[in-house]
Amino acid sequence: MKSRHRIAGTIAALIAAPLGIFARHRSHAPFELRTQTQLVNLTIVATNRKGQPFTHLKASDVIVREDGKRQTLVSFEPAVAPHASASAAIPLANHLPGFGLSSPVPQSFRYIAFVMDDSSTSYPDLISSIRAAIRWVKTRQLPTDQVALFSIGMGVRVWQPFTSDRKLLLSRLHAMEHENSAPSDDQRINGLLFRLHSCTDLPQLSVQESCAKIEVRHFTEEETALLVRRTEQLRALMNMLGLFPGEKRLIYFGDGFLTNPGRLASYAYATYFGTDTQMEWQLSDPNEFLRPVTDAALRSNVTIYTIDAHGLSASPIMGNATEVPSNILGPEGPRDAVTFGIERQYGPQDALNELAWDTGGLPFSGDNDLATFTDRAIGDIAGTYYASYQPTNSRLDGSYRKITIRCLIRGVHVHTRAGYYALPIHEFPVRAKVLKFRPNAQRFLAPVEFILNRSDLHWRGRGKRRSDDLVVAHTLVNSSHQLVTSRVQMLQAHYPESKRLTFAIGWNLPPGQYTGVVQITEAGTSDFGVANFRLRVP
């Protein structure tokens, strides 16, 4: 899909509440490896001709290339055993890193972010999108799936940070149903058509054309401003998700949006007054608005799957007859009206297609069954495989590396992320110290202190005001290796007077044995440290 042309500015996004939850294996995981030895981790989804999960894939069945050069897989594991039920509760893993793990044990955690675009989506389509997400949470969400809810409109709104709590997700989705959406693209385009028709009531043709050109330019300016705002918000969202190491799957619901509003407006003008080649050339913006968004997604390891919420419902070429008057065809006849109708119907889909294809995802459109689209976009744990390879190009020069994958089994389709940026990331030491337990209502408060070297972090500011932003992910499993809790928190660390930075996390637990892992990631650099610990609650 050829990229449409866009520009975008810079936006800062701050989140004070915890943003997410994840678990990752220190040396083999479905997430990006972060060690001095460069490995590239892939999540591969395999389906048959009917779109159903293919559960018997082997490493020898796939060919992975990086920038056109074939790579050798050093690990390849299914997310679940072929005989396991995808809907069953899946244990975290048989081991956590650092506790006698002798071979890779794949984990089944998935990041899934639902994004509702209420800036250009009609209210009925927005409700259909929310209800599709509700059905997925009720019927398809696994106990280990970490799901977040976002909307974009006036800004990026975090409705629910990443959580596996199904009741909480459903509550927030129902709350989203009662929010009012902004006027849709259809409504704004109909308004343009109405104003163009009003220009034809003026007495002279030259005055009519001047009136129409003013309306066309005004529409183009307003829509371009909306487009810049939307792309800024999308890029901010990608940067948010990039705080967390690992692969994130973003499910975008919306009616699409105009990627070249000037071209559409010039076509609308032509349906009334004929083609004005000079105006069309001036208004068709050659800038790449979406490129900063897809670049940010690739840097943050976000794969975007777009769902066209408009479904099969399509507006007539000149809009709904109850909302706008009929057009007066220009001197070139109905051809101009057809050109306008094609651009109106398929132009917004171009944006959805570009977001998906350029980030390694897939676009879904042309059906009113949004729930089925949601199932297909997220996929199933069954038919998912975790693989890694050591790239032949070992230079960590920050360049983008394109990944392609092909399956040798006829009728089986395999899909993975589009690529990655080869950035150097360092691991720093973290020590864990179990503190004294305290009784708390038939349970025990079990605190653990974590200790970092002050010199390992990259501090901002000067003197005592120096600070650093950290993402702290902590996961706890019981003696049966079942997930007890997993959470991610944002921590702003202040420059300590001593050479050590310390903080504590406490868990309110019943008696039993627990194993935990905490990962601390520096938001500005993605440098990280991992600490493992055991708790024996009396």
Q: How far apart are CA 83 and CA 104, in angstroms?
A: 19
Q: Are both 179 and 86 inside the same structural domain?
A: no
Query: Across the strands, what pairs with 280?
Result: none
Is residue 120 one of the residues assigned to a domain? yes
Amino acid letter at 295? D
Rounded average pLDDT over 132-148: 91
Q: Are both 475 and 398 inside the same structural domain?
A: no
Is residue 394 one of the residues assigned to a domain? yes
Q: Are both 174 and 241 inside the same structural domain?
A: yes
Contact predicate 367/373, CB 8 Å: yes
Return the structure tokens found at 88.
């069953």
What global pTM score does this model have? 0.67
Q: What is the pLDDT of residues 27-63, one digit of tens each?
A: 333 333 233 346 788 888 899 998 888 999 999 999 9
CATH of the domain at 492: 2.60.40.10
421, 452, 482: which is the final residue of a domain?
A: 421
Is residue 6 one of the residues assigned to a domain? no
The CA-atom distances, in angstroms, between 408 and each of 46, 281, 343 are 12, 47, 39
Rounded average pLDDT over 333-351: 77
Look up tokens 């004070």; give the residue.
16
The CA-atom distances, in angstroms, between 69 and each of 64, 98, 419 are 8, 34, 13
Q: How far apart are CA 518 and CA 531, in angstroms?
A: 5
- The number of domains in the chain is 3
Return the structure tokens found at 338.
């057809």
Mean pLDDT across the chain: 79
Is residue 35 one of the residues assigned to a domain? no
Q: What is the pLDDT of residues 288-321, one digit of tens each?
A: 778 888 888 887 888 899 999 887 654 555 555 4
Return the structure tokens found at 370.
């949004």
**132 pLDDT exceeds 90?**
yes
More confident residue, 136 or 383: 136
Whose CA is closest to 285, among 367, 238, 347?
347
Q: Are both 270 and 401 inside the same structural domain?
A: no
Maximum separation of any 2 CA atoms in the chain, in Å? 91
Q: Are both 47 and 184 inside the same structural domain?
A: no
CB count in 10 Å sphere of residue 350: 21
Return the structure tokens found at 280.
């069309």
Q: Are both 135 and 81 inside the same structural domain?
A: no
Rounded average pLDDT over 441-449: 91
Lowest mean pLDDT among 326-335, 368-377, 477-486, 527-536: 326-335
Q: How far apart are CA 267 and CA 250, in angstroms?
A: 33
Residue 4 is predicted with a pLDDT of 33
Q: Are both 259 and 332 inside the same structural domain?
A: yes
Is residue 10 one of the residues assigned to a domain? no
Q: How far apart are CA 136 and CA 234, in angstroms?
A: 23
Residues 6+ apart with CB under 8 A from 272: 196, 197, 199, 200, 212, 327, 328, 329, 330
Rounded average pLDDT over 429-444: 91
More confident residue, 304 or 325: 304
**325 pLDDT exceeds 80?**
no
Residue 115 is predicted with a pLDDT of 96
**446 pLDDT exceeds 50?**
yes
In which domain, by residue range, is 196 found? 111-370
Q: Are both 309 and 164 inside the same structural domain?
A: yes
**378 pLDDT exceeds 80?**
yes
DSSP state at residue 332 = T
**379 pLDDT exceeds 90?**
no
Q: Are both 73 and 183 inside the same structural domain?
A: no
Residue 319 is predicted with a pLDDT of 52
DSSP strand E in 391-511: where?
Answer: 400-407, 413-415, 419-421, 430-434, 438-440, 443-453, 467-478, 483-494, 500-509
